A and B are shown apart, each in its own frame.
Chain A
Amino acid sequence: MANTPGPVQDIEFTLNGDPISRTTSSRQLLVHFLRDDLGLRGPKIGCDTGHCGACTVNYNGKVIKSCMTLAVQADGAEIDTVESLAGESGDLDDLQESFRENHALQCGYCTSGVLMSSKFLLERNPNPTAAEIREGIHGNLCRCTGYVNIVKAISAAAHGDKGLALIERLNREHAEEAGI
């Protein structure tokens, strides 16, 4: 950062509950700032255009794509990344645990972003239908899971069911949605 030509700016913000005070290059993207300057691994980079969602973070209570945001825009904000999910003990939270149980990740590259969007969805809508879940994560591309087990994991975290009952409920919901 320090070697990048062009203007710089001092910023202060809250990251995962901790105060941060840094100088950033005015042209630096938030995702690069979080990764390169602050050493976070959660926000990932998968595209140039804001479509893949691997960089999704929570910004003042809303999910945003940190590759579409400049680091200077973090000034004064409260930002949470996937690193905020597991508790002090390091234990997985319920959503993360549901992802593990339901094999909702394979390579794990999109997972940080998917978790942030899912958490945001469940905060607003604790009881989503399969279609609402799909809508809630449609800004996050996953190329490994085909979304089947991601939908399952989010739905299970919300409804508390598992196994065959969970699969049959989701098959039913999808069939009703398709009108067949």
Chain B
Amino acid sequence: MTAPTTDTVATTTWTGQSLPRKEDERLLKAQGSFVDDEGMHRQGYAQFVRSPYAHARIVSIDVSKAEALPGVITTLTGDEVKAMTEPLFQFAPKEDGAQMNEYLLAVDVARFQGDAVALVMAETREIARDAADLIEVDYDPLPVNTDGVKAADPDSYVLHDSLGDNIAWKGIFDWGDIDWALENADHVVKIDKLHFHRYSSTPIECNAVLVNWDPGTDMIRVVSNNQFPMFGALVIGPSMGVGIDQFDFVSQDIGGGFGIKINSYIAIGALALLSRKAGRPVKWTETRTEHHQAGGHGNERTFLDIEVPVMADGTMLGFKMRAFDDAGAYLHYEPLGAVIWSQVVPGPYKFKHVHVDYTETLTNKCPAVPNRGYSRMQHIWFVERVVDLVAQELGLDPVEVRRMNYVQPEDYPYTTPNGCVYDSGNLPGALDRVLEMIDYDAVKKLKEERAGSGKRIGIGIGTTLDSGTNNFGQSRILNPELPFSGNGEACTALLDLYGEVMLKLGTSPQGQGHETTASQVAADILGMSPENIRVWAGFDKSHSAYIGFSGTYASQFAVTGINAVIGAVNKLKAEIIEVAAHAFGVEQDQVELANGEARIIGNPEAAIPFIGIANMVLANNATLPHEMAERISLVCRHVYVPPFEVPDTEKKYGNLTLTYSTQTHAAVIEVDEETGKIEILDYAVVDDCGTRINPMVVEGQVHGATIHGIGAALRESFDYDEDGQLLTSNFLFYHAASATDVPNIKTDHIESPSPFTGTGAKGMGEGGGAPVHTLSSAIQDAIGPGRAIVDDSYNPPERVWRMLNWDGPAEERGVSVVSKNGGS
């Protein structure tokens, strides 16, 4: 595959500065607008009735007592939903066409604790809650399965009868020649099992929806905090039998998303039906408990029977393994995760031979949905665990093993075994820098000094990739018939009547500062200050530019969003210059824009302010030639489309993402032998996301992603008991990290501009989950060779203590080496 190219141009001056954000003043003064800050005339309040069982047949639902309660407006049950809608669109039906029948409310069977079985709408929040308690649901409990590997057994109890089994998707990924590599390697390191746990970045604002299905116009106005509204519309529109043109999706400020808020489209659809039934607007604000039970969890993945061929000098040739992804009870955005990991098959390394037998299963747990680092983080955690275990078992230096196996700076653009093109980077440079930041040699000495003191030191390294601007063509690896490929984003740039510059984006940001960064690049093109450029806050489908991919997800605004802005603003600039050149009676190449004026180059006295241009086109158009007046609108829409091709779905080969940011992390931890408690003594990050449009915003993203990963590695887990009851359904039990739980983060950066994006920028918001890799690595280092291995991504004190005190036989360590020279 040839490397993609692009013809957009780099900008200068404002771009690259750490400008304070346009968004901040309103947010600091509580003048932002989050969903619950909005209201509609005659709105009611909704409450979901949710299954307390992880798996149960719904025998009957009696809403009569609830409907008799004064203040109750209406109710809605799964049977009613089934009668008025079609099952939701599924990405990958089985070859015989079999697929699950999911509706906007559960029908006949509840499949996880928190599955929504009914809705009630009342005049106040409190009445709605009272009424939900009065809805009588008769459940008949069914067998529960919470194990994503066991779910694949042919005799496991089937969740969805229409599917016939619990396999959501299954496929073999095979590149290079793993059999040759295992045959010819000097050592084969075998690892029995690695497990990446369930957690979520748990945005502080839970899901919220305010919806009005207007009885007069049949328009459905959805004020929500969904972060990918056009995807939601694509899925629920056909189910509800409504056109996309009927939806007006609106969001302004969103209180964190991290991918999880892609999932709220199901609730949006159900609430829209409730609004239609009531003939009134309805508001729903999810509770924290509901959010944890049903709002969506990150992917849980189990890796089995891992074999890693390694040469005597430490060169790693690849790996072979079986992977099981636990999708939970329904497929929301899944099974896309089943292919999205293949954006980063070898991680940051030059592995050539890879074989993955992949299965995604259904269990009686909350549906898995994208969460910061979606699907690639799980895979790179696996790769980093493998690298550390190979180093440990073969007695090699983990720093040197990384350095020698990394993709090297001179290798870019680097094509991976499955055809992905890594655009740029400097991994050895980042590793050197991050080790310098933690004073590696000094902490190695400290580790020796502290040995035997009861407080062990561990040093961990984690390298990760944040692949951004994905090629939706990868969905065809799941199902070649899917009508999706490429990617893109839209922007409209316009001059208003008095010459004001405004941008409207297609994105729905949750704190990423799009208003600021969009104004920075636009300011450079138009020769004016970002202060004088208004960027419409949030998304409104009725007038924002958008395409099917519009939204804020998957590390891409710096590429898709910014290039859409650049394209739209360049078109606006061209129109302004054409009108000015006509007015001046000069050629267009004689006109430049500066300080909010169009002027003749070399003669700044001859200038028309933008108000004059706007006036000529929008309110004084008899002064223009008729042809020009009709052609030029000063409203310029541009869609940026990254250069992708449809992948080869047979070979599962092709470029799946445009950019690859890298992050290299290093941690120094202290482990208390008595309790297993970990204290992070030092933590450093080197980020490389190419050209930085606003370094302050970039660093903020690095900080946030780092603390999510640290929290996930040590504190945060969605644990279920054997009955499928979630044990961590609120912040009392789910330990989201507070300021005293996490360390200071030291950051530095390298800039390896992407050759594929015009500006050199890369998407970087997800961060790639590096702290999870890094802390597993540090704990392994603290435990030391020949003892227990870190085989789980979640390591609370109890687990660390057990590993420190594990004293089983060597053959039960879960790792072994077979060497060619007869050693093992």
A residues in contact (CB < 8 Å) with B: 1, 3-5, 25, 27-28, 32, 35-36, 40-42, 44-49, 51-52, 54, 81-83, 85-86, 90, 92, 96, 99-101, 103, 105-112, 115, 130, 133-135, 137-151, 170-171, 174-175, 178-180
Q: Which residue of B is nearest A137, CB measured?
A: B739
Chain B neighbourhood of A130, CB < 8 A: 744
Select one of B30, B205, B254 contacting A42, CB under 8 A. B30
- B 11-30 contacts with A by CB, 8 A: 18, 20-21, 23-25, 27-30
Q: What's the Cα separation between A116 and B511 when bound, in Å? A: 20
Can you give 15 A-B contacts (C-beta < 8 A)? A5-B130, A44-B204, A47-B204, A49-B731, A82-B29, A83-B29, A107-B204, A107-B255, A107-B511, A109-B205, A112-B30, A135-B740, A144-B511, A148-B703, A149-B699
The answer to whether A86 and B204 have CB atoms under 8 Å apart is: no
Asked if B483 is at the interface of the complex by the 8 Å CB criterion, the answer is: no
- CB pair B739–A46 under 8 Å, yes or no, is no
Partner of B204, one of A82, A141, A175: A141
Cα A45 to Cα B254 in complex, Å, equals: 13
Chain A residues contacting B696 (CB-CB under 8 Å) are 103
Q: Cα distance A105–B706 when bound, in Å?
A: 16
B708 and chain A: residue at smallest CB distance: A143
Within 8 A of A (CB), among B705-732: 705-708, 730-732
B736 on interface, CB distance cutoff 8 Å: yes
Q: Which of B32-40, B427-435, B582-590 contacts A (4 or more CB under 8 A)?
A: B32-40
> Are B126 and A178 in touch, CB under 8 angstroms?
no
Partner of B681, one of A81, A135, A141, A179: A179
Knowing A139-B738, A143-B202, A144-B704 touch, does A107 contact B256 (C-beta < 8 A)?
yes
Does the CB pair B731–A141 fall under 8 Å? yes
> A44's contact among B33, B130, B255, by CB below 8 Å, is which?
B255
Q: Which of B96-104, B283-291, B526-534, B541-549 contacts A (4 or more CB under 8 A)?
A: B283-291
Do B743 and A101 touch (CB < 8 A)?
no
B71 beta carbon closer than 8 Å to chain A: yes
What sequence of 0s and 1s flags, for each residue 34-50 of chain B, a beta carbon within 8 Å of any chain A beta carbon?
10110000000000000
With an 8 A cutoff between CB atoms, is B203 at the interface?
A: yes
Given A90-B29, A107-B511, A44-B205 contact (CB < 8 Å): yes
* B52 proximal to A (CB < 8 A): no
User: Nearest Cβ in chain B — how far from A6, in angstroms?
Assistant: 8
Residues of A within 8 A of B594 (CB): none
Given pairs A46-B206, A106-B700, A109-B204, 7 additional interface contacts (CB within 8 A):
A41-B30, A108-B255, A108-B511, A109-B34, A141-B204, A141-B731, A143-B201
Interchain CB contact under 8 A, B700 and A49: no
Tell me, in angstroms, the Cα distance from A109 to B27 when the chains sit together: 8
Q: Residues of A contacting B744 with CB < 8 Å?
A: 130, 148, 151, 170-171, 174
* Contacts known (A1-B124, A45-B285, A103-B696); A115 close to B28, Cβ less than 8 A: yes
Residues of B within 8 A of A140 (CB): 738-739
By Cβ-Cβ distance, the 10 closest A-B pairs, closest first, are A109-B255, A108-B27, A106-B511, A146-B707, A107-B511, A51-B731, A42-B30, A174-B744, A146-B703, A47-B288
- Asked whether B512 is an interface residue with its Cβ less than 8 Å from the other chain, the reply is yes
Residues of B234-288 contacting chain A, CB below 8 A: 253-258, 285, 287-288
A111-B443 Cα distance, complex, nearest whole Å:
37
Residues A45 and B36 in contact in the complex (CB < 8 Å), given A99-B24, A100-B20, A106-B704: yes
Q: Which residues of B contact A111 (CB under 8 A)?
A: 27-28
Main secondary structure of the interface of A (DSSP, over half): loop
A141 CA to B141 CA, complexed, in Å = 37
A83 CA to B27 CA, complexed, in Å: 11
Q: Are B205 and A46 in contact (CB under 8 A)?
A: yes
B552 to chain A, nearest CB (A): 11
Tell me the bound Cα distance from A40 to B29 in angstroms.
11
B736: chain A residues at CB < 8 Å are 51-52, 141, 143
Verify B71–A5 contact, CB threshold 8 A.
Answer: yes
Give CA–CA (A100, B23) in the complex, Å. 9
Given the complex, which residues of B lie within 8 Å of A49, measured CB to CB?
Answer: 288, 730-732
Contact check: which of B708, B731, B742 meets A52 at CB < 8 Å? B731
Q: CB within 8 A of A48: which of B443, B730, B737? A: B730
B37 touches A138 (CB 8 A): no
Shortest Cβ distance from residue A17 to the other chain B in the assembled complex, whole angstroms: 16
Which of A1, A51, A103, A142 has the most chain B CB atoms inside 10 A of its CB? Answer: A103
Counting chain B CB atoms within 10 Å of each CB, the highest count among A32, A49, A54, A137 belongs to A49
Kindly report which residue of chain A lies nearest to residue B33, judged by CB atoms: A41
Measured between C-beta atoms, what is the minimum distance from B460 to chain A in Å? 15
Nearest residue in A to B38 (C-beta to C-beta)? A41
Shortest CB-to-CB span from A133 to chain B, Å, is 8
Q: Please tell me if the beta carbons of A105 and B703 are within 8 angstroms of each other in the complex.
A: no
Chain B residues contacting A179 (CB-CB under 8 Å) are 681
Roughly how many angstroms separate A42 CA and B26 CA in the complex, as a whole number?
Answer: 11
Cβ < 8 Å to A, chain B residues 664-687: 668, 679-682
Contact B732 A51 (CB under 8 A): yes
The proximity string for B residues 733-752 relative to A, scoring 1 for CB distances below 8 Å and 0 otherwise, is: 00011111111111000000
Q: Does B181 contact A (CB under 8 A)?
A: no
In angstroms, Cα B700 to Cα A141, docked, is 16
Q: Is the CB of A150 within 8 A of B28?
A: no
Q: How distant is the Cα of A164 from the Cα of B412 in the complex, in angstroms?
A: 33
Q: Name, among A41, A96, A174, the residue most crowded by chain B CB atoms within 10 Å (CB to CB).
A: A41
Contact mask for chain B residues 747-784; partner A; CB cutoff 8 A; 1 contact, 0 none = 00000000000000000000000000000000000000
User: B513 at interface (Cβ–Cβ under 8 A)?
Assistant: yes
- Of all chain B residues, which has the CB nearest A131? B740
A163 to chain B, nearest CB (A): 10
- Determine if B123 is an interface residue (Cβ-Cβ < 8 Å): yes
Of A83, A109, A179, chain B has the most CB atoms within 10 Å of the CB of A109
The reply on B150 being an interface residue by CB < 8 A is: no
Q: With the chains together, A4 CA to B127 CA distance in Å? A: 6
Are the C-beta atoms of B256 and A109 separated by less than 8 Å? yes
B625 at the interface (CB under 8 A from A): no
Q: Does B125 contact A (CB under 8 A)?
A: yes
Min C-beta distance of A13 to chain B, whole Å: 19
Give B483-523 as 1s and 0s: 1 = Cβ < 8 Å from A's Cβ atoms.
00000000000000000000000000011110000000000
Most A C-beta atoms less than 10 A away, residue of B20, B253, B256, B513: B256
Nearest residue, chain A, Cβ from B30: A42
B127 touches A5 (CB 8 A): yes
Query: Which of the residues B71, B257, B679, B739 comes within 8 Å of A3, measured between beta carbons?
Result: B71
Q: Are A108 and B253 in contact (CB under 8 A)?
A: yes
